[in-house]
Amino acid sequence: MNNRYVVSLFEDEHDLLAAVRTARERKLKIVDVHSPYAVHGLDAALGVRPSWMSWACAVFAVLGVSSMLFFQYWVGAVDWPVNVGGKPWNSLPAYIPITFEALVFGGGIGMVLTFFVACRLYPGRPAHVPDPRVTDDRFAMVLEEADAGFDLDDVRRLFSGLGAVEVREHVSEEAP
C-alpha cells in the first residue's frame, strides 16, 4: 500500500509556526516537522505533551545510587571488613563521592538507552529526510493525505500564502 504525503518547505521559522498552527486548526494530520535547529514554541504549536523521559532519568539515577550504596556497604561491612583508622565498616560519608558518580553514570547511560528505545533508533536504520535542505537552511512540515477528502491544490494555496517556498507530494512505502 502506497502512502501519500505532502512536504512543505519554508525559509523562516515563523512561517513554519504559522503553517503548523493553521494545519492543526484545519485538522490536517501532521506526520513530522523538520528543522535545522530547535524552534522555540514548536512543541506547543504541535500540541506535544511534556516528555516522560525525565522520569526515566530519575529512575535510572535512583537505581544507580541504590546499587552503589548496597555494593559499597556489602564490600566494606560484609565481604571484606577492614578497620582503617578506627572508622566504622559501614561509614556512609565515605560512600558519598562514589555514590554521586553512580547517580550521574546511571542517569546518563539510562537516558541514552531510553532515548534509543523511545525513538526506535537502532544500528542500520535508514534516515528519512524529506529534503536534504532541512539539515542546512530550510524548515519542512510533512502532512499525511489521510482521507479521500484531502485537497492537494487547496493545501498548496494555503501554505504558499503562509510563506512556503515549495509544496510537493511524496508517494512512498514509508514516511519521508
Give me the residue spans of the domains in the chain.
3-50+128-172, 53-118
Q: Tens of pLDDT along the chain (176 residues)? A: 458 888 999 999 999 999 999 999 988 899 889 999 999 999 999 998 888 999 999 999 999 999 999 999 999 888 888 877 777 777 888 889 999 999 999 999 999 999 999 988 888 888 778 888 888 889 999 998 877 778 888 889 998 899 989 898 888 766 55
Q: Which three cell numbers stand for residue 30?
A: 501532521
Other C-beta atoms closer than 10 Å to the C-beta of 136 total: 8
CATH (one of 1.10.10.10, 3.40.50.980, 3.30.70.120, 2.30.110.10) for 3-50+128-172: 3.30.70.120
Please name the residue ranges forming H helices in 35-138: 42-46, 53-73, 92-118
User: Kindly report the CA angle at 116 between 114 and 119, in degrees rounded to 5?
Assistant: 100
The whole-angstrom separation of Cα 33 and Cα 100 is 38
What pLDDT is attached to residue 136?
Answer: 86
What pLDDT is attached to residue 173?
Answer: 65
What pLDDT is attached to residue 1?
Answer: 43
